[in-house]
Amino acid sequence: MNHPLRARLALPLLPAAAIAPLLLGPAAMADPLPSPQPEPRAAPAATLEGTFHVVGTTGFVAVADRDGQPVLDTRPVAADTAHYPAPGTTGPLVVGSMCVSALNGPGLPFAVLVDAAVPSGCLQVRTTSPAPHVVRFTADDPSSPANGLELGLQANGALLALGTAGSDIELVTEGPVVAPTLDQTDLAPGSGLSGTATPGAHVVVVRDGTVVCEADAADRGADDAGHWSCSPIDALTEGTYTLELFASTPAGQLAPPVPVEVVVSAGPGAGDGPDPDPDPGHGEGTDPGDAPSPGDGAGGTGGTGTPGEADQTGEPSADGPSPGPATTARTADAAPQGRLAWTGTEVTGPLAVALALLTAGTGALLHRRRRARSRS
Protein backbone atom coordinates (compact mmCIF):
# COMPACT_ATOMS: atom_id res chain seq x y z
CA MET A 1 0.00 0.00 0.00
CA ASN A 2 1.40 3.36 -0.97
CA HIS A 3 1.69 6.25 1.51
CA PRO A 4 -1.08 8.61 0.13
CA LEU A 5 -3.66 5.82 0.43
CA ARG A 6 -2.54 5.04 3.99
CA ALA A 7 -2.97 8.75 4.89
CA ARG A 8 -6.53 8.81 3.49
CA LEU A 9 -7.48 5.69 5.48
CA ALA A 10 -6.07 7.15 8.71
CA LEU A 11 -7.89 10.47 8.35
CA PRO A 12 -11.31 9.28 9.65
CA LEU A 13 -9.61 7.81 12.69
CA LEU A 14 -8.35 11.20 13.84
CA PRO A 15 -10.31 12.83 16.66
CA ALA A 16 -12.71 15.58 15.73
CA ALA A 17 -10.71 18.10 17.72
CA ALA A 18 -7.74 17.44 15.46
CA ILE A 19 -9.77 17.58 12.24
CA ALA A 20 -11.58 20.86 13.02
CA PRO A 21 -8.54 23.08 12.55
CA LEU A 22 -7.79 21.36 9.24
CA LEU A 23 -11.33 21.84 7.86
CA LEU A 24 -12.44 25.17 9.40
CA GLY A 25 -9.13 26.91 9.96
CA PRO A 26 -7.64 28.33 13.19
CA ALA A 27 -10.71 30.50 13.95
CA ALA A 28 -12.76 27.41 14.89
CA MET A 29 -10.59 26.80 17.95
CA ALA A 30 -10.22 30.41 18.98
CA ASP A 31 -13.91 30.98 19.99
CA PRO A 32 -15.86 27.96 21.26
CA LEU A 33 -19.67 27.89 21.01
CA PRO A 34 -21.16 30.42 23.50
CA SER A 35 -23.26 29.00 26.33
CA PRO A 36 -26.89 30.18 26.43
CA GLN A 37 -27.41 33.15 28.75
CA PRO A 38 -30.50 33.32 31.05
CA GLU A 39 -33.05 35.92 30.01
CA PRO A 40 -33.27 38.91 32.36
CA ARG A 41 -36.17 38.63 34.80
CA ALA A 42 -38.83 41.28 34.46
CA ALA A 43 -39.28 43.60 37.39
CA PRO A 44 -42.28 42.64 39.52
CA ALA A 45 -45.40 44.64 38.74
CA ALA A 46 -46.61 47.21 41.23
CA THR A 47 -49.59 45.83 43.13
CA LEU A 48 -52.47 48.07 44.15
CA GLU A 49 -55.28 47.45 46.61
CA GLY A 50 -58.97 48.32 46.51
CA THR A 51 -62.52 47.03 46.12
CA PHE A 52 -64.50 46.54 42.93
CA HIS A 53 -67.98 47.18 41.59
CA VAL A 54 -68.86 46.01 38.07
CA VAL A 55 -70.62 48.76 36.15
CA GLY A 56 -74.23 47.73 35.52
CA THR A 57 -74.63 45.69 38.71
CA THR A 58 -75.99 46.57 42.13
CA GLY A 59 -73.44 44.66 44.20
CA PHE A 60 -69.72 44.51 44.74
CA VAL A 61 -67.15 41.92 43.71
CA ALA A 62 -66.63 39.18 46.29
CA VAL A 63 -65.77 35.50 46.33
CA ALA A 64 -68.84 33.25 46.50
CA ASP A 65 -69.49 29.52 46.21
CA ARG A 66 -71.11 28.04 43.12
CA ASP A 67 -71.56 24.25 43.37
CA GLY A 68 -68.44 23.96 45.51
CA GLN A 69 -66.38 26.14 43.17
CA PRO A 70 -65.22 29.59 44.37
CA VAL A 71 -66.28 32.23 41.83
CA LEU A 72 -66.36 36.02 41.53
CA ASP A 73 -69.90 37.13 42.36
CA THR A 74 -71.30 40.66 42.12
CA ARG A 75 -74.37 40.03 44.29
CA PRO A 76 -72.94 40.14 47.84
CA VAL A 77 -73.55 43.32 49.82
CA ALA A 78 -69.97 43.47 51.11
CA ALA A 79 -66.92 43.37 48.84
CA ASP A 80 -63.68 41.47 49.32
CA THR A 81 -60.39 43.34 49.19
CA ALA A 82 -58.64 42.91 45.84
CA HIS A 83 -54.96 43.16 44.93
CA TYR A 84 -54.30 43.85 41.27
CA PRO A 85 -51.45 44.99 39.00
CA ALA A 86 -51.15 48.72 38.45
CA PRO A 87 -52.51 50.00 35.11
CA GLY A 88 -50.08 49.24 32.31
CA THR A 89 -48.51 46.27 34.11
CA THR A 90 -49.13 42.52 34.32
CA GLY A 91 -49.59 40.34 37.39
CA PRO A 92 -52.11 38.15 39.24
CA LEU A 93 -55.61 39.32 40.14
CA VAL A 94 -56.27 38.35 43.76
CA VAL A 95 -59.68 38.80 45.43
CA GLY A 96 -59.73 37.93 49.11
CA SER A 97 -57.46 34.91 49.38
CA MET A 98 -58.24 33.58 45.87
CA CYS A 99 -56.78 34.39 42.45
CA VAL A 100 -58.09 33.90 38.93
CA SER A 101 -56.75 30.53 37.79
CA ALA A 102 -54.41 30.02 34.84
CA LEU A 103 -56.56 26.99 33.94
CA ASN A 104 -59.35 29.26 32.70
CA GLY A 105 -60.20 29.13 29.05
CA PRO A 106 -62.86 30.15 26.52
CA GLY A 107 -66.35 28.76 27.02
CA LEU A 108 -66.31 28.47 30.81
CA PRO A 109 -69.50 29.92 32.36
CA PHE A 110 -67.52 31.68 35.08
CA ALA A 111 -63.94 32.50 36.00
CA VAL A 112 -62.37 29.67 37.98
CA LEU A 113 -60.49 30.67 41.14
CA VAL A 114 -57.65 28.97 43.00
CA ASP A 115 -55.78 29.56 46.24
CA ALA A 116 -53.51 32.59 45.84
CA ALA A 117 -51.02 31.00 48.24
CA VAL A 118 -49.69 29.10 45.19
CA PRO A 119 -48.64 31.94 42.83
CA SER A 120 -47.76 29.58 39.97
CA GLY A 121 -51.45 28.72 39.60
CA CYS A 122 -52.59 32.34 39.18
CA LEU A 123 -53.47 33.74 35.78
CA GLN A 124 -51.38 36.75 34.74
CA VAL A 125 -53.61 39.66 33.72
CA ARG A 126 -52.83 43.08 32.31
CA THR A 127 -54.62 46.10 33.78
CA THR A 128 -55.80 49.04 31.72
CA SER A 129 -57.65 52.15 32.92
CA PRO A 130 -60.11 53.56 30.37
CA ALA A 131 -61.30 56.27 32.79
CA PRO A 132 -60.48 57.62 36.26
CA HIS A 133 -61.29 55.08 39.00
CA VAL A 134 -62.15 52.43 36.36
CA VAL A 135 -60.08 49.38 35.33
CA ARG A 136 -60.32 46.46 32.89
CA PHE A 137 -58.46 43.16 33.02
CA THR A 138 -57.14 41.14 30.05
CA ALA A 139 -55.38 37.78 30.38
CA ASP A 140 -51.72 38.24 29.45
CA ASP A 141 -50.45 34.71 29.99
CA PRO A 142 -49.16 32.72 26.97
CA SER A 143 -49.14 29.52 29.06
CA SER A 144 -52.91 29.76 29.70
CA PRO A 145 -55.78 28.92 27.32
CA ALA A 146 -57.39 32.18 28.48
CA ASN A 147 -54.59 34.31 27.01
CA GLY A 148 -56.11 37.38 25.36
CA LEU A 149 -59.56 37.00 26.96
CA GLU A 150 -61.10 39.80 29.01
CA LEU A 151 -62.73 39.59 32.42
CA GLY A 152 -66.35 40.66 32.30
CA LEU A 153 -69.87 40.05 33.57
CA GLN A 154 -71.48 36.90 32.17
CA ALA A 155 -74.51 37.39 29.96
CA ASN A 156 -77.70 37.75 32.02
CA GLY A 157 -75.87 36.71 35.17
CA ALA A 158 -74.12 37.96 38.27
CA LEU A 159 -70.81 36.11 37.92
CA LEU A 160 -67.60 37.19 36.21
CA ALA A 161 -66.22 35.17 33.31
CA LEU A 162 -63.33 35.36 30.83
CA GLY A 163 -64.46 35.99 27.26
CA THR A 164 -64.18 38.25 24.27
CA ALA A 165 -66.11 41.12 25.86
CA GLY A 166 -64.83 42.59 29.10
CA SER A 167 -66.49 44.91 31.59
CA ASP A 168 -65.63 48.24 33.13
CA ILE A 169 -64.87 47.66 36.80
CA GLU A 170 -65.21 50.63 39.12
CA LEU A 171 -62.76 51.12 41.97
CA VAL A 172 -65.10 51.76 44.89
CA THR A 173 -62.23 52.18 47.33
CA GLU A 174 -58.61 52.66 46.35
CA GLY A 175 -55.90 51.64 48.75
CA PRO A 176 -56.41 49.82 52.05
CA VAL A 177 -59.41 50.46 54.28
CA VAL A 178 -58.04 52.73 56.99
CA ALA A 179 -59.25 53.05 60.55
CA PRO A 180 -60.96 56.36 61.39
CA THR A 181 -59.06 58.97 63.36
CA LEU A 182 -60.02 61.93 65.56
CA ASP A 183 -58.49 65.34 64.92
CA GLN A 184 -58.44 66.46 68.55
CA THR A 185 -58.51 64.72 71.92
CA ASP A 186 -58.59 67.89 74.06
CA LEU A 187 -62.04 69.44 73.61
CA ALA A 188 -64.08 72.28 75.01
CA PRO A 189 -67.56 71.50 76.39
CA GLY A 190 -70.13 71.25 73.60
CA SER A 191 -67.50 70.86 70.86
CA GLY A 192 -68.12 68.90 67.70
CA LEU A 193 -65.99 65.94 66.62
CA SER A 194 -64.04 65.62 63.39
CA GLY A 195 -61.40 63.39 61.83
CA THR A 196 -60.48 61.33 58.78
CA ALA A 197 -61.46 57.92 57.41
CA THR A 198 -61.55 56.04 54.12
CA PRO A 199 -63.14 58.42 51.57
CA GLY A 200 -66.89 57.85 51.43
CA ALA A 201 -66.97 55.75 54.61
CA HIS A 202 -69.75 56.07 57.17
CA VAL A 203 -68.29 56.87 60.60
CA VAL A 204 -70.08 56.16 63.88
CA VAL A 205 -68.79 57.42 67.23
CA VAL A 206 -69.85 55.24 70.17
CA ARG A 207 -69.53 55.76 73.94
CA ASP A 208 -70.43 52.96 76.35
CA GLY A 209 -72.46 51.24 73.63
CA THR A 210 -74.46 54.39 72.79
CA VAL A 211 -74.08 56.29 69.52
CA VAL A 212 -72.66 59.75 70.18
CA CYS A 213 -72.88 60.96 66.58
CA GLU A 214 -72.30 59.74 63.01
CA ALA A 215 -71.30 61.20 59.66
CA ASP A 216 -70.18 60.33 56.13
CA ALA A 217 -66.56 61.01 55.22
CA ALA A 218 -66.08 63.16 52.13
CA ASP A 219 -65.82 61.16 48.91
CA ARG A 220 -62.54 60.74 47.03
CA GLY A 221 -63.47 63.49 44.54
CA ALA A 222 -63.81 66.17 47.24
CA ASP A 223 -61.06 68.60 48.19
CA ASP A 224 -61.18 67.28 51.76
CA ALA A 225 -61.49 63.61 50.78
CA GLY A 226 -61.88 61.39 53.83
CA HIS A 227 -62.75 64.21 56.24
CA TRP A 228 -65.78 63.76 58.51
CA SER A 229 -67.39 65.81 61.26
CA CYS A 230 -70.44 65.50 63.49
CA SER A 231 -72.04 67.13 66.54
CA PRO A 232 -72.75 64.87 69.53
CA ILE A 233 -76.43 64.18 70.13
CA ASP A 234 -75.84 64.99 73.80
CA ALA A 235 -73.14 67.60 74.28
CA LEU A 236 -70.01 66.30 76.00
CA THR A 237 -69.60 68.02 79.35
CA GLU A 238 -66.37 68.28 81.29
CA GLY A 239 -64.71 64.98 82.00
CA THR A 240 -62.66 62.18 80.43
CA TYR A 241 -64.32 59.81 77.98
CA THR A 242 -63.34 56.76 75.96
CA LEU A 243 -64.91 56.93 72.52
CA GLU A 244 -64.93 54.09 69.98
CA LEU A 245 -64.72 55.04 66.30
CA PHE A 246 -66.25 52.65 63.76
CA ALA A 247 -66.34 53.04 59.99
CA SER A 248 -68.06 51.18 57.17
CA THR A 249 -66.83 51.73 53.61
CA PRO A 250 -69.18 52.20 50.64
CA ALA A 251 -68.43 48.55 49.77
CA GLY A 252 -69.65 47.42 53.19
CA GLN A 253 -66.26 46.73 54.75
CA LEU A 254 -65.72 47.43 58.43
CA ALA A 255 -62.58 49.31 59.36
CA PRO A 256 -60.80 48.24 62.56
CA PRO A 257 -62.48 49.87 65.59
CA VAL A 258 -60.43 52.57 67.26
CA PRO A 259 -60.72 53.47 70.97
CA VAL A 260 -59.76 57.09 71.69
CA GLU A 261 -59.56 58.82 75.08
CA VAL A 262 -60.73 62.45 74.99
CA VAL A 263 -60.58 65.09 77.71
CA VAL A 264 -63.32 67.73 77.82
CA SER A 265 -62.46 70.80 79.85
CA ALA A 266 -63.26 74.50 79.82
CA GLY A 267 -59.56 75.37 79.75
CA PRO A 268 -57.66 77.87 81.89
CA GLY A 269 -59.85 80.82 82.86
CA ALA A 270 -62.74 79.75 80.64
CA GLY A 271 -66.14 80.74 82.04
CA ASP A 272 -64.64 82.51 85.06
CA GLY A 273 -65.60 86.02 83.97
CA PRO A 274 -63.66 89.13 85.12
CA ASP A 275 -61.17 88.83 87.92
CA PRO A 276 -63.21 89.52 91.07
CA ASP A 277 -62.10 92.23 93.50
CA PRO A 278 -60.64 90.54 96.61
CA ASP A 279 -62.15 93.28 98.78
CA PRO A 280 -65.93 93.48 98.28
CA GLY A 281 -65.96 96.88 99.95
CA HIS A 282 -63.23 98.32 97.78
CA GLY A 283 -64.23 101.54 96.10
CA GLU A 284 -66.73 104.04 97.30
CA GLY A 285 -70.25 104.15 95.94
CA THR A 286 -70.05 100.59 94.68
CA ASP A 287 -72.89 98.23 95.45
CA PRO A 288 -71.63 94.64 95.71
CA GLY A 289 -74.98 93.44 94.43
CA ASP A 290 -74.31 95.13 91.09
CA ALA A 291 -71.41 92.82 90.35
CA PRO A 292 -72.24 89.81 88.17
CA SER A 293 -72.41 86.56 90.04
CA PRO A 294 -70.06 83.71 89.04
CA GLY A 295 -73.04 81.81 87.66
CA ASP A 296 -74.23 84.64 85.42
CA GLY A 297 -73.60 84.55 81.73
CA ALA A 298 -72.06 87.22 79.56
CA GLY A 299 -73.25 90.69 80.53
CA GLY A 300 -74.38 89.48 83.95
CA THR A 301 -77.94 88.72 82.84
CA GLY A 302 -78.15 85.60 84.98
CA GLY A 303 -80.87 83.01 84.39
CA THR A 304 -80.62 79.30 83.70
CA GLY A 305 -78.98 77.56 80.78
CA THR A 306 -75.96 79.86 80.60
CA PRO A 307 -72.46 78.56 79.79
CA GLY A 308 -71.35 79.45 83.34
CA GLU A 309 -74.00 77.21 84.88
CA ALA A 310 -73.25 74.36 82.50
CA ASP A 311 -69.62 74.53 83.54
CA GLN A 312 -70.46 74.43 87.24
CA THR A 313 -73.11 71.74 87.26
CA GLY A 314 -71.64 69.52 84.59
CA GLU A 315 -75.08 69.33 82.89
CA PRO A 316 -75.88 70.64 79.40
CA SER A 317 -78.18 73.63 79.14
CA ALA A 318 -81.91 73.18 78.67
CA ASP A 319 -81.71 74.66 75.18
CA GLY A 320 -78.80 72.42 74.19
CA PRO A 321 -75.45 73.58 72.86
CA SER A 322 -75.44 76.85 70.99
CA PRO A 323 -74.95 76.56 67.24
CA GLY A 324 -71.91 78.82 67.36
CA PRO A 325 -68.36 77.99 66.25
CA ALA A 326 -67.84 75.61 69.19
CA THR A 327 -70.37 73.14 67.77
CA THR A 328 -69.62 73.52 64.09
CA ALA A 329 -68.11 70.56 62.27
CA ARG A 330 -64.85 72.26 61.36
CA THR A 331 -63.54 75.47 62.87
CA ALA A 332 -60.37 77.43 62.38
CA ASP A 333 -59.25 76.46 65.87
CA ALA A 334 -59.75 72.73 65.19
CA ALA A 335 -57.56 72.39 62.11
CA PRO A 336 -53.94 72.89 63.20
CA GLN A 337 -54.05 70.94 66.43
CA GLY A 338 -52.70 67.75 64.86
CA ARG A 339 -54.11 64.28 64.48
CA LEU A 340 -54.20 61.49 67.01
CA ALA A 341 -51.63 58.80 66.34
CA TRP A 342 -53.23 55.60 67.68
CA THR A 343 -51.68 52.19 67.59
CA GLY A 344 -52.89 48.84 68.77
CA THR A 345 -50.29 48.84 71.54
CA GLU A 346 -52.38 51.39 73.41
CA VAL A 347 -55.22 48.93 73.94
CA THR A 348 -55.13 46.75 77.01
CA GLY A 349 -56.14 43.11 76.84
CA PRO A 350 -59.57 43.49 78.49
CA LEU A 351 -60.41 46.48 76.31
CA ALA A 352 -59.46 44.58 73.16
CA VAL A 353 -61.81 41.75 74.14
CA ALA A 354 -64.62 44.20 74.86
CA LEU A 355 -64.10 45.91 71.52
CA ALA A 356 -64.20 42.59 69.69
CA LEU A 357 -67.59 41.85 71.24
CA LEU A 358 -68.82 45.33 70.44
CA THR A 359 -67.66 45.21 66.80
CA ALA A 360 -70.18 42.55 65.75
CA GLY A 361 -73.18 44.51 67.00
CA THR A 362 -71.87 47.83 65.73
CA GLY A 363 -71.13 46.34 62.31
CA ALA A 364 -74.76 45.32 61.94
CA LEU A 365 -75.82 48.78 63.09
CA LEU A 366 -73.60 50.42 60.48
CA HIS A 367 -75.11 48.32 57.70
CA ARG A 368 -78.67 49.08 58.80
CA ARG A 369 -77.99 52.80 59.03
CA ARG A 370 -76.31 52.90 55.62
CA ARG A 371 -79.17 51.01 53.95
CA ALA A 372 -81.74 53.25 55.63
CA ARG A 373 -79.89 56.30 54.34
CA SER A 374 -79.79 54.89 50.79
CA ARG A 375 -83.56 54.19 50.84
CA SER A 376 -84.30 57.70 52.05
pLDDT at res. 318: 42
Q: Do domains 47-174 and 181-268+323-375 have the same CATH topology?
A: no
pTM of the predicted model, to two decimals? 0.59
Q: What is the pLDDT of residue 37?
A: 55
Tell me what the pLDDT averaged over the chain comes to.
73
- Give the CATH number of domain 47-174; options: 2.60.40.10, 3.30.1330.200, 3.90.600.10, 2.80.10.50: 2.80.10.50
The whole-number pLDDT of residue 375 equals: 53
Q: Which residues of the chain register pLDDT less than 50?
A: 1, 4-30, 39, 41, 269-278, 280-358, 360
Q: What is the CATH number of domain 181-268+323-375?
A: 2.60.40.10
Q: What is the reported pLDDT for 220?
A: 87
**Per residue, what are the HEC states of the chain?**
CCHHHHHHHHHHHCCHHHHHHHHHCCHHHHCCCCCCCCCCCCCCCCEEEEEEEECCCCCCCEEEEECCEEEEECCCCCCCCEEEECCCCEEECEECCEEEECCCCCCCCCCCEEECCCHHHECEEEEEEEECCEEEEEECCCCCCCCCCEEEECCCCCEEEEECCCCCEEEEEECCCCCCEECCCEECCCCCEEEECCCCCEEEEEECCEEEEEEECCCCCCCCCCEEEECCCCCCCCEEEEEEEEEECCCCCECCCEEEEEEECCCCCCCCCCCCCCCCCCCCCCCHHHCCCCCCCHHHCCCCCCHHHHHHHCCCCCCCCCCCHHHCCCCCCCHHHCCCCCCHHHCCHHHHHHHHHHHHHHHHHHHHHHHHHHHC
**What are the domain boundaries of the chain?**
47-174, 181-268+323-375
